[in-house]
Amino acid sequence: KNEVEQSPQNLTAQEGEFITINCSYSVGISALHWLQQHPGGGIVSLFMLSSGKKKHGRLIATINIQEKHSSLHITASHPRDSAVYICAAPTSGSRLTFGEGTQLTVNP
């Protein structure tokens, strides 16, 4: 079992739908990262959070430290949101362990 697990692996949505991607981890962590990787390969950091909730535009990330669970929500999804979303956590010092990623496709 991976220390960081994501679900679902693949997600297809219609434009405008509300999307949720989940991430669970099995070890105590101090923070969790959400990353976005576009088809061209580049990676962008979306959020780093250690408690509660953060919002940036249509993206919302939440974390529940006690339940070892984080979610990434996208409101009013758009085709340009199509990408791979990856959660990652420092499971040992500064060593990041990555989830397998969620391939999101938003159709117009």
Partner 1 sequence: DSGVTQTPKHLITATGQRVTLRCSPRSGDLSVYWYQQSLDQGLQFLIQYYNGEERAKGNILERFSAQQFPDLHSELNLSSLELGDSALYFCASSVASQGTGELFFGEGSRLTVL
Q: How far apart are CA 73 and CA 38, in angstroms?
A: 17
Closest CA to 87 of 38, 21, 39, 29: 21
CB 108 to partner 1: min, Å: 27
Joined together, the tokens standing for residue 44 give 């962008």
Chain residues that interact with partner 1, rule: CB under 8 A: 30-31, 33, 35, 41-45, 48, 50, 86, 88-90, 92-98, 100-101
Cβ proximity to partner 1: between 43 and 76 the closer is: 43
Least separation in angstroms between CB 31 and partner 1:
4
Supply the minimum distance, in Å, between the C-beta of residue 53 and partner 1.
17
Residue 96 CB, shortest distance to partner 1, in Å, is 5
* Of 93, 91, 87, residue with least CA distance to 73: 87
CA distances 18 to 1, 58, 72, Å, are 29, 10, 11
Q: Which is nearer to partner 1, 50 or 75 (CB)?
A: 50
Cβ-based nearer residue to partner 1, 77 or 86 = 86
Quick one: which H or E segment has residue 60? strand 59-64
Nearer to partner 1, 6 or 77 (CB): 6
